[in-house]
């Protein structure tokens, strides 16, 4: 019954570090252990993340700084993944190990003489590690503890894989948030009704100038009221066509009162805007304003991004406001060739969608559209 309760706790702790610590504490009691260390290691044996329960964080820091790299048990554990292994099985020279400073100055001092760890592969480069520990007076781990903990392994693997993926997502999200605010091009996030939810610093400046876009009653609208109908059509097209390769009608040329023009791109977010604290954002607006200097050049795209001439021609047309259907016609490309070149552009720029690709190009290259 206790095992079933722990399995439920394991799944309930996904994405919640505090709950995960409580779950590991429960498993430690189930394994008759005093201390437990858990986290993620990469294939070099480096701890990417590590936490401890039943002991102070200072103990964990001391282990990672002084002993982790030379812990003689870890290579054996990593070569035998997916199982609980009493630590005495991983010691090639027990007498030397018992005399070591690691045992006498650290493990015994913190009641962590014996360990029962498991390396759980999460992918080709990372493993989750759980290690339950107890003192010399508690005795070595044996088959009884292995039997008790083995049914938990597949559930720990699923939960830690999700926790790891969420951790990676949080890191990427933090980087994306910083990137969005540093993009030189104006970026604005709006809901499906056009209400402004977020603007990077350049986007805020554009709205305050009211040159191409303005914020009227909290809604982002074209400065030129005669373009309102076309603007609404672009937003609607992005919402409905954002997942299709023929991303037709999701850009337009905005005009200002002085006669200059800027390209507006609309990109459906599909729930991807949480990283800026705007979970209800439906669309990203990317504005390519005119700048001084020559138009973007294909050789420069090739040099900066390592693109082939064909990829550079496609990128050039994307940032000039051409739809994929127009590019296909101009360059006489088949649908499959177009898809292949777009995938290659995504890979070389680290982007995943057409709007992200355009935003990336706008962020690194000055583009003239006037």
Q: Is 54 exposed, middle or buried (0-12, 13-18, 19+ CB in 10 A)?
A: buried
Other CB atoms within 10 A of residue 88 CB? 14
Largest CA distance in the chain: 87
182 CB burial (10 A radius; 0-12, 13-18, 19+) = exposed
Contact 314/345 with Cβ under 8 angstroms? yes
Angle at 145 between CA 139 and CA 147, to 5 degrees: 155
Burial, 95: exposed, middle or buried (Cβ in 10 Å; 0-12, 13-18, 19+)? exposed
In angstroms, the CA 207 to CA 189 distance is 13
Q: What is the CATH number of domain 183-364?
A: 1.10.10.10
Per-residue pLDDT of the chain (370 residues; tens, 9 = 90+): 477 888 988 988 877 778 889 999 999 999 999 999 998 888 878 887 889 999 988 888 899 888 988 899 999 999 999 999 999 999 989 999 999 999 999 999 999 999 999 999 988 888 899 999 999 999 999 999 999 999 999 999 888 887 776 665 444 444 445 555 556 678 888 988 899 988 887 788 888 888 899 998 889 999 988 999 999 988 988 887 544 433 446 788 888 877 788 888 888 876 555 545 566 788 888 887 654 444 445 666 676 677 888 888 888 888 777 788 888 888 888 888 888 888 888 888 777 777 778 777 766 554 443 3
Sheet holding 251-255, edge to edge: 196-199, 187-190, 283-288, 261-268, 251-255
Q: Give me the residue label for tokens 């986290």.
A: 39
Domain ranges within the chain, ordered by starting residue = 2-171, 183-364
109 is written with which tokens? 């001092």
CATH homologous superfamily, domain 2-171? Transcription factor LuxR-like, autoinducer-binding domain (3.30.450.80)
């Amino acid at each position: 019954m206790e095992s079933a309760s722990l399995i439920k706790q394991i799944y309930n702790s996904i994405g919640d570090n505090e709950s995960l610590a409580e779950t590991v504490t429960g498993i430690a009691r189930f394994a008759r252990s005093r201390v437990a260390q858990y986290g993620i290691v990469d294939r070099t044996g480096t701890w990417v993340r590590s936490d401890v329960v039943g002991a102070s964080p200072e103990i964990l820091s001391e282990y990672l700084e002084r002993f982790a790299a030379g812990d003689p048990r870890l290579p054996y554990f990593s070569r035998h993944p997916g199982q609980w292994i009493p630590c005495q099985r991983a010691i090639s020279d027990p007498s030397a190990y018992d005399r070591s400073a690691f045992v006498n100055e650290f493990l015994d001092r913190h009641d962590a003489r014996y360990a029962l760890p498991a390396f759980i592969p999460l992918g080709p480069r990372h493993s989750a590690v759980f290690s339950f520990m107890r003192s010399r007076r508690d005795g070595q781990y044996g088959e009884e503890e292995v039997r008790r903990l083995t049914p938990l392994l597949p559930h720990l693997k699923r939960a830690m894989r999700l926790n790891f993926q969420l951790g990676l997502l949080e890191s990427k999200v933090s980087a994306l948030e910083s990137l969005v605010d540093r993009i030189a091009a104006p970026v604005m996030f709006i809901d499906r009704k056009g209400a402004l939810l977020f603007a990077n610093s350049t986007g805020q400046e554009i709205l305050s100038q009211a040159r191409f876009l303005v914020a009227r009653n909290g809604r982002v609208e074209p400065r030129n009221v005669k373009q309102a109908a076309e603007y609404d059509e672009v937003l609607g097209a992005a919402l409905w066509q954002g997942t299709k390769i023929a991303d037709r009608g999701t850009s337009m040329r905005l005009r200002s009162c002085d006669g200059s023009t800027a390209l507006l791109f609309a990109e459906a977010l599909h729930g991807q805007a949480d990283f800026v604290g705007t979970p209800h954002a439906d669309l990203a607006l990317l504005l390519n304003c005119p700048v001084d200097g020559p138009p973007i050049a294909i050789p420069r795209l090739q040099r900066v991004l390592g693109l082939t001439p064909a990829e550079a021609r496609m990128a050039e047309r994307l940032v000039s406001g051409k739809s994929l259907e127009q590019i296909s016609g101009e360059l006489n490309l088949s649908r499959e060739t177009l898809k292949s070149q777009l995938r290659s552009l995504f890979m070389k720029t680290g982007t995943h969608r057409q709007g992200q690709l355009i935003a990336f190009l706008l962020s690194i290259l000055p583009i003239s559209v006037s």
